[in-house]
Structure 1
Amino acid sequence: MDRTNCLPFATFTPEKKAIARIKKILADRPRDLCLFTLGINTAYRANELLSLRVGQVQALRAGDVLDLKQRKTHKYRPVTLNATAVAAIQAWLEIGDLKADDYLFTGQRGCLTVETMSTRVKTWCHDVGLKGNYGSHTLRKTWGYWQRLERGTAIPLLMEAFGHATQQQTLAYLGIQSNEIAAIYEL
């Protein structure tokens, strides 16, 4: 079953091998690896990830909660960070010359923009041979896809994690339901 293009306007990364290949090409770019890793390990939107300040994450350990205010809904959404996410943050902080009030993800002109992040995600996916429409939502959708498919996380829980208003919005966002319906007809 092809899961890469269930929604024509947004694609996620369904292959663990592709995720591993992206991490490999980002291994010598700790900032980008940190951004990618946080993106696929949290349900935060691109603008929420890019708004992170060093002081918000520098003392975090695996199992700690990062509580960010969603710009879209203005509600706080807590996320428990796993060891992989924390290790990526620490690796970036070890070499990045950043102060507590600096943005975590900076470029030559200051804080990275959602547009820049989108371009980077497209490039990373293209560089590992993925075909599809990738962008800033790819990382967030990848998290949700794997939560649902691998862990069997219920749609109402994903809805809450994404900050969606309805279950239908979450189903459409992930495009999983159409895949699941198609799968019941496969022999």
Structure 2
Amino acid sequence: MSRPKGNPNHPKKGAAIKVYPVRNMEQIEAIKAKLKHQPRNYCLFVLGINTAFRAKELLSLSIKQVEALKVGSRLEVKQSKTNKYRAVTINNNSYNAIQFWLKRHPRQREPNAALFQSQQSRSAIGVSTLNNLVKGWCADIGMTENTGSHTLRKTWGYHQRMRGQASIPILMVAFGHTSETQTLEYLCIQADEVQALYLRLEL
């Protein structure tokens, strides 16, 4: 009896796999706690969920781009999709995470060195490596939903909306989306907000 070729769990060509944000603040803190003894990964996670940079943008950072940053500084990075520059403001958590890592970075005196250097080479880690790292971090704290590198970016947007009450039009601009529906679906919050309607107001 012949076995089917290929991975039966692999999505069909053209199919999209939804990647989810870390919705729960307790889960975010749990990941941070697990990464405290991994300065590079701790900085990668904290910066990822506080800037909403795409994976390629995050991994393109060099030491010279961040070493002089303070709380309130603007960090501009060229977007991988549009080739336009996008600026983010560094908050306390991002600043502290960057400093925590820079003090331990093996090439801290080399301005052009990759901020998130691979342990196997002198270059930056790749997107596939980041994807696997995020999956591992989330699985370690009990998340069962599908996660990946986009989880970091989506986590920022999810909490900006659900906890910070950011408007959908503002988030559309931040993510470069063309419709409110696209943003709601991307951040996996449409179902959550609809469900909340039934609990927020009783007639």
Which TM-score band (shorter chain)? Answer: over 0.9
Find the counterpart in structure 1 of residue 115 from structure 2.
104
Equivalent residues of 2:21, 2:188 under 8 A apart: no
Alignment partner for residue 114 of structure 1, among 127, 150, 169? 127
Query: Which consecutive segments of 4 or more residues in structure 1 shift more than 4 A?
Result: none
Cα distance in 1 for residues equivalent to 2:45 and 2:103: 17
Cα distance in 1 for residues equivalent to 2:136 and 2:197: 34
CA deviation map 1:86-142 (0-9, x unaligned): 110111010112211011001112210110001000000111111110100001100
Alignment partner for residue 164 of structure 1, among 177, 188, 191? 177
| 1:85 maps to amino acid | S
Supply the RMSD in Å over aligned alpha carbons.
1.5
Find the counterpart in structure 2 of residue 46 from structure 1.
55
User: Could you state the TM-score of these two structures normalised by the residue count of structure 2?
Assistant: 0.85
Find the counterpart in structure 1 of residue 23 from structure 2.
14
Q: Work out the percentage of aligned pairs sharing the same amino acid.
A: 48
Cα distance in 2 for residues equivalent to 1:105 and 1:134: 20
Find the counterpart in structure 1 of residue 40 from structure 2.
31
Secondary structure in structure 1 of the residue aligned to 2:69: coil
Cα distance in 1 for residues equivalent to 2:17 and 2:23: 15
How many aligned positions are there? 181
Find the counterpart in structure 2 of residue 86 from structure 1.
95
Cα distance in 2 for residues equivalent to 1:179 and 1:24: 27
Structure with the largest fraction of helix: 1
Cα distance in 2 for residues equivalent to 1:185 and 1:90: 44
CA deviation map 1:119-170 (0-9, x unaligned): 0000001111111101000011000000000010001111111222332321
- Whichever of the two has the greater Rg, that structure is 2
Cα distance in 2 for residues equivalent to 1:166 and 1:43: 18
1:142 correspondence with 2:151: no
Cα distance in 1 for residues equivalent to 2:159 and 2:50: 10
Secondary structure in structure 2 of the residue aligned to 1:78: strand
Alignment partner for residue 167 of structure 2, among 146, 154, 164? 154
Find the counterpart in structure 2 of residue 185 from structure 1.
198
Find the counterpart in structure 1 of residue 10 from structure 2.
none
| 1:143 maps to amino acid | W
Shift of 1:8: 6.0
Cα distance in 2 for residues equivalent to 1:162 and 1:16: 22
| 1:82 maps to amino acid | N
Shift of 1:176: 1.2
Q: Structure 1 residues 175-184 or 135-144, which shifts more?
A: 175-184
Find the counterpart in structure 1 of residue 141 from structure 2.
128
